[in-house]
A and B are shown apart, each in its own frame.
Chain A
Amino acid sequence: MGKNAARSIRDKVCVVGVGESEYGRHGSIARPEFQLAIEAILAACSDAGLDPRQLNGFASYANDRNDAIRIATALGVEQTAFNNMHWGGGGGGVAGAVANAAAAIVAGYADYVVAYRALAQGQFRRFGQASVTGRSRGQDMWRLAVGLLTPPQRFALPIRRYMYEYGVTSEQLGLIAVASYKHAQHNPRAVMNGRPITIEDHQNSRMIADPLRLYDCCQETDGAAAVILTTPERARDLRRPLVYLAGAAQGAGYREGAMSDNRPNYTTAAFSDVARRLYASAGMGPEEIDVAQIYENFTGLVLMAMEDFGLCGRGEAGRWVEGGRIEHKAVADAGAPHAGALPINTSGGNLAEAYTHGFELMVEATRQLHGTATLPVEGARTSLLVSGPGVAPASALILHN
């Protein structure tokens, strides 16, 4: 036990409720993004059995447009005691925002904190589009000068290098997408429910930024998701079984934010340092993980993140995901040798449920332990959430019951 053990957040906070708005393809939902945020928060309160007026803390990330005071005012909460925005990193802030909410509870700033993200790309800007005119300056100019404008273009570079170094194939990337789509067929909330894909569909899908095909890329959707956290004592008076935050970590290692792809450890998902701190914080290791939600910005980065978190060895993820290992056993092909060994993205995730900047993965990580998942992993006691592979800062957390 290191000197930080006494300062660990382990078992000091519970996730007591989860919720989301309707999910839809970008542009398909007419209600304003702000309303979607409120709908998700109310759904999470309802799931917890909590009066929304008791919320007194708010945490989000990625510069969410729907700020805490506006939400607090709309809900008529009696007190706003904690307002927190996690810096940068896009979807790297999912677990970071939840961990900040948890820290506020341990610190005594607030009693019931909601962490949330609302993202209606149809109402603002699609992440896959970028208009680029005029003169570029500052840190952006280097990417703009070469036409690296959208996330798939940008992340094609580390994924290509990773595939080259370890002999990973496009079909192996496709297995991540197939698993998400299979899981989404059991999830009525999922945008891709009713639209299953096969590995052949993945291989035949159009190229976006080589080596990334359409089905390697997360969706562009409208929606919002939220979770509520409180102390274990308060959680006992609420509706769901106790699910504890076992540990959390955010941030980056040395120079992982270096521009123009100058970060060291280029063929990792930039989690080496976060993963080490996460497991130390939770007092557990990768062999104890029962189910995992791994942010799929792009399929290749999921493989790289699996290696960073020690779920398999370095360079092994491509082969490791074969044989149904990451598919829930209810959806794995008959006779798949590793069916259900470590199911990932069990609600369909960013690829097939919805892209709430990854927050739906936090909702699903919780549901797996609340017993409310659409595709429950039998006997799951520990649930890993990995947010924002390839970005800095990124974050991750582990829940357990």
Chain B
Amino acid sequence: MAEFVDSQYFPEGYAVPDPNDALSRGFWEAAREGRLVVQQCRDCPTVQHPPEVLCHACHSFDLGWKDVSGRATIYSFTRTVHPANDLLRERGPYNVVLLQLDDHPEVRMLGNVLDADEEGALAIGMPLRVVFERTAVDPDVGEIVQPRWRLAEPESG
């Protein structure tokens, strides 16, 4: 079962993705349902993220979405201390991780790890699991749900 969280990682007023963005609509629709997906070519085995107009390997425009497990590993990370604007100055330091999907290590995704903003909380190689943040309900575009991450226990076996 997917875990949904109602607290927001970034403050009210911070930009939120437009879930009707032409290329990535399927990604945000899946997030509403608690599914993490990557773009999948229907004419060859390629998966790619972020979504692109066409398959970069075979040039097919016939692209769909593939569910992935939502388990991943930290490939790199930063803890941003110097804020880019006043809104984030009030929020305080936050983390950004670059992760590798366990199902598709060739695909990297950017993310944030919840409850891990303090110095020393993150390290390369740590396992992650996806959760879904109910960021906002927008009168024009509906519910906006974004994947975030939690530190996970290493999978046994």
Interface residues of A (CB under 8 A from B): 128-139, 141-150, 152-153, 156-158, 160-161, 164, 206-212, 255, 259-262
Say whether B96 contacts A141, CB under 8 Å: no
Instruction: Please encode chain B, from 67 to 106, with 1 for each CB lying within 8 Å of some chain A CB and 0 for all others.
Output: 0000000011111111011011000001010100000000
Return 27 A-B CB contacts under 8 Å, by A number. Answer: A129-B84, A132-B85, A135-B138, A137-B18, A141-B24, A142-B110, A143-B110, A144-B17, A146-B111, A147-B80, A153-B84, A153-B96, A156-B96, A157-B96, A160-B77, A164-B76, A164-B124, A206-B82, A207-B82, A209-B78, A209-B82, A210-B78, A210-B79, A260-B108, A260-B109, A260-B110, A261-B108
Say whether A149 contacts B18, CB under 8 Å: no
Other CB < 8 Å A-B pairs besides A135-B18, A136-B17, A261-B110, 10 of them? A130-B85, A135-B138, A146-B96, A149-B88, A153-B78, A161-B98, A164-B124, A208-B81, A210-B78, A211-B78
Say whether B81 contacts A161, CB under 8 Å: no
Say whether B13 contacts A133, CB under 8 Å: yes
Judged by a CB distance under 8 angstroms, whether B50 is at the interface is yes
Q: Which residue of A lies closest to B148 (CB)?
A: A146
Bound-state CA distance A265–B124 (Å) is 17
Say whether B50 contacts A133, CB under 8 Å: no
Judged by a CB distance under 8 angstroms, whether B1 is at the interface is no
Measured between beta carbons, the chain B residues less than 8 angstroms from A147 are 9-10, 14, 80, 88, 94, 96, 112
Tell me the minimal C-beta distance from A262 to chain B in angstroms. Answer: 5
Q: Which residue of A lies closest to B48 (CB)?
A: A262
Given contacts A130-B85, A132-B84, A150-B84, contact A160 B78 (CB under 8 A): yes
Measured between beta carbons, the chain B residues less than 8 angstroms from A260 are 49-50, 98, 108-110
Interface residues on B, range: 35 or more
Judged by a CB distance under 8 angstroms, whether B146 is at the interface is yes
Count of CB-CB pairs between chains A and B under 8 Å: 124
Say whether B112 contacts A146, CB under 8 Å: yes
Measured between beta carbons, the chain A residues less than 8 angstroms from B15 are 132-136, 144
Measured between beta carbons, the chain B residues less than 8 angstroms from A134 are 15
Bound-state CA distance A146–B9 (Å) is 9
Measured between beta carbons, the chain B residues less than 8 angstroms from A157 are 76-78, 96, 98
Bound-state CA distance A373–B24 (Å) is 51
Bound-state CA distance A136–B141 (Å) is 13
Q: Which residue of B lies closest to A158 (CB)?
A: B76
Judged by a CB distance under 8 angstroms, whether B54 is at the interface is no
Say whether B17 contacts A145, CB under 8 Å: yes
Q: Which residue of A lies closest to B19 (CB)?
A: A135
Measured between beta carbons, the chain B residues less than 8 angstroms from A210 are 78-81, 119
Tell me the minimal C-beta distance from B4 to chain A in angstroms. Answer: 17
